[in-house]
Structure formats: C-alpha cells, structure tokens
Structure 1
Amino acid sequence: KSQLVYGVLAAIVFLSGTITYFNWWDKIGWKGPNSSRNLRLLSLPALFLFIMLLIVLFTGLPSTRVLLIVIINTLMVGISEELMFRGVLFYGVSSSFGIWRAAWITAAIFGSVHTLNSLITGDFNASAFQAFFAGMFGVWAVALRVRLDTVIPLIIIHWLWDCLAFLAGSSERLGLVLLFFSFILFFYGIWLLRGFRSTVAPFNQNRCAGLS
C-alpha cells in the first residue's frame, strides 16, 4: 500500500524473457480474441466490476499517492499472475492433460500459492480464505482464457478486481458481496467449460469458436 512491489516487477521481466526466448507469446495467449462475438462472455465479470467500482466511489478514495501505488501494484500482479498461471502454466498443463483437467489443476495451484501469504502476514486463516477466493477465480479465469483464446482481457480483469477489492477496504459486508460474486463467476466458469471435459488435446481457435 505504501510502496511499489519491485519483486513482482522482477517476475514480469523474468516471465517476459522466458516467453520471448521460447517464442511462446502466441501459445500463452498474448494476442487478440479468437472472435469479437466472444467478447460478450466478459459481460458478467464487467457487471460485477462496475458494482465494485460503485462501492469504492461510495466509500471514498485514498490519497492520490496511495491510489497510484495501488493501481500500479495491482496491475503488475495482474500481469505476472496471468502470464504465469493462465499463460505458461495452463499452456503446459493443457498440452499434457487436456483443458478440463488443466483448468482444475491450475486453479488449485493458483489457490494454493496464495496460502504462502501467511508466511508474510502471519495470518493463516486470512490466507486460507484468500486461497479459496483465488481458486474460484482461477476456474472462471481459465474458462475465459479458453473461450476467448487470449490472456489479455484476463490481465485487465485481474488488475481491476484486485485494485477495486483493495480500495473498497475490508468489512464483513464487503466480504459477503465478493464471496457472492466469486461463487456466481465460479459456476459461470464451469458452464463456459462445458464441452471441454473430453478434450484431450490442447485447445485451438476453431474449437473455441465452435462452442460459442
């Protein structure tokens, strides 16, 4: 909250260098969506983000300095985590296990990683709760990754979600709202993944477009 997280910036540089070296940018989804029609699938997350924005505006914004730091830090987190989990990791796991299993494997790993926050905060219960949220986020994020065949909108969604959730502050009422949103989007993600349960080969553009 008070300073930039340079470790996340270093992770972005490392991931970008690795992806460039192996020429993975297209494979990990750094490209436009497979069909402009599929952008409508972003409507539900966009609606929830808009509601979160209203909550932030209603509760009030922090100082300009803090606001800028939060915006930059959450943007870097969105870029690094999406490149890693919905990009590199999902590409590798889906190549071996298929889309359906890869969605659950990467979501579980994404959630589990967030329990490590307890090593910093010392609050395991809060980290476990965050890991639960992250795991559900991982499912519907992967679903959008599959259906859109791009990771770029996910970076934007991830950034805005973290940024607005942070700016909204912590309260029991807000936690219930975010929990409700997370459950709805979790089941939305499962619905988007219909038709991919028997997919054993890596997804491709035609496959994604055909399920729209």
Structure 2
Amino acid sequence: MTRADAPSTHRLGWTLATLAGWMAITFLGAWLFHPGEESLDELVTSGISWQLVAACIFLVAMIRWQGWHDLGFRSPAPGTLRLLWLPLLMVGLLLLLAAAAGLPPISAILFILVNTLVVGFSEETMFRGVLFRTLWGRMSVWPAILVTSVLFGAVHVLNGFITGSFGNAMAQAVLAGCSGILFVAILLRTGSIWVAIVYHALWDTATFLVVAGALTSDEATQASETASVGGVAATLMPLLLVLPNLLYALWLLRKVHKDPPPGAQTL
C-alpha cells in the first residue's frame, strides 16, 4: 500500500505539515530575500522570486515522498479545454488594458512571466492539488471546494507582512478566494491540474502587466500619485473581471455534487 492509500487521518496530517512548510518557505523566504517592505509588483518585476522556486521544489519532494499520485498531473479530458472560453476572454481583456496602459520594459515582462509560472505551479499544486485532494477524501466535494478556497484566500493576508499594506492584502485575499473557486472548477471539469496551473499563471501575468504598465507610464515627478493609482488598479481591475469568472465557475460546478465531471474520480 502506498502512502496515498494510507488512512485519511495520516494523509491529512502530512497535508497540513506540507501546507505549514510551504507557507514558511514562501513567506519567510520572501522576508529573507527582501527584508524591506516592497509591493508585489516590485517583487515580480525586479528578479526571480527564489523562495517560490524553493517552495516548488519542496512540494515536488513531498509529493514524491508521500506517493501522492492522484493530484491530477495528467492530460485534460478530451473536449474540455473549450470550457475555458470565458476565463481566457477575461485574460484577453486584461491584456488589452495592459497594452493600453503601456507595457513595462522587456526585462520586467520576462520576470513577470517566470514568476507567475512559478506561482501558478506552487499555489495550484499546494491548494488544488495536495490540499483539495486530501479534503475531498474526507468530506463531500462542495465543502472541500469551499474550505480549500477560503484557506487559499486567507494565506494571501500574509502578503501584508511583505508589502506593509494589510488593506491591500485583505482585498487580495478576497479576490484570491473567488479565483480559487474558478481554479478548482477548471481542475474538476478538465481532470487536469496542469490546465489550472497554466490558467493561473496567465491570469497573474495579465494582472501584473496592467499594474506594472500603470506604474511605469507616469513621470517620476508623479511617483506618489502613480503608486496610489497602481494600488487601486491592482485591486479594482481584477475585481471587475473576477466576478464573471466566479459566476462562470459556479455554473461549471452546478452538477459536480451529483455527476462528477470527466476525470474527477481519478484525479
């Protein structure tokens, strides 16, 4: 019997230990690499976030050690990618806004691409992979979805220790919790966590491009005003586009408690 087949209490304990380790690496690592207060857009545009890379390595090691082979690292079920038409449309709208605001330098764009891909893998593997699969083994699917999404949103409050702005961190937590429902809907409807990882990365990339473009489009003499506008954009722009995604996610999940979607039983 593999560790994945062990009693659910044993698996829950290791899942919570994995979550604690992931949080320590992600947030304490951010403090070690960036001891001063920095905005999230500064962090993702100024270099590679090595603490996130370390968190990914930690997750892969834990998954291999525990033998968790049911997390959805597989190809999507045939014909399910077309369900992403609305989420991809939302990403497209964000990219149009980014282009209108003015794109940041190419170096910043490259760092955004790398960091958001790492974030997508790290957060999806931890929450929609390890945590959700464990919770689904102990409760019905909707409680597992809600607990996972609430916890996913809650950890974003810890960004306040990095940025120094707990108001923005609370807003990010709400947005992340709503987005988490879409990510789990993508996982369940496609049967593949890879699709959720890629979409998560695309969403974050588009969001940071909007914010970074807004922050670099003004003159240096307007720096303080720009920072304020950037903070508003970081909250309001995703908020306007998260709601359609949330409603669509609820529609995708409308029958999940009755008729598991393709690939759901074999995640």
Pair in the same fold by TM > 0.5:
yes
Amino acid at match of 2:241: F
Question: Identity over aligned residues, as a percent?
Answer: 35
Structure 1 unaligned regions, length at least 5:
none
1:21-40 alpha-carbon deviations (Å, 9 max, x no partner) = 23324x11100112x22211
**Cα contact 1:100–1:198 (8 A) shared by 2:** no
TM-score with structure 1 setting the length: 0.88
Distance 1:55 1:107, change over 3 A: same
- Alpha-carbon separation, structure 2, partners of 1:113 and 1:207: 26
1:153-207 alpha-carbon deviations (Å, 9 max, x no partner) = 11111111111111101364674442122111112111211123468xxx67466
Q: Which residue of 1 aligns with 2:52?
A: 8
Considering only aligned residues, what root-mean-square deviation do their CA atoms show, in Å?
1.9
2:137 to 76, 95, 109: 95
Q: How many residues align?
A: 203
TM-score with structure 2 setting the length: 0.71
Structure 2 unaligned regions, length at least 5:
1-44, 212-229
Q: Which residue of 2 aligns with 1:147?
A: 189
- Alpha-carbon separation, structure 1, partners of 2:185 and 2:103: 32
- Alpha-carbon separation, structure 2, partners of 1:183 and 1:68: 28
**Cα contact 2:190–2:263 (8 A) shared by 1:** no
1:2-43 alpha-carbon deviations (Å, 9 max, x no partner) = 121111000101111111223324x11100112x22211111
Amino acid at match of 2:82: R
Tell me which structure has the larger Cα radius of gyration: 2
1:8-157 counterparts in 2 under 5 A? Answer: 8-25=52-69, 27-34=70-77, 36-157=78-199
**Cα contact 1:100–1:193 (8 A) shared by 2:** no
- Alpha-carbon separation, structure 1, partners of 2:234 and 2:164: 23
Distance 1:204 1:54, change over 3 A: closer
Higher relative contact order (CA 8 A, sep 6+): 1
**Cα contact 2:149–2:178 (8 A) shared by 1:** yes
Q: Which residue of 1 aligns with 2:3?
A: none
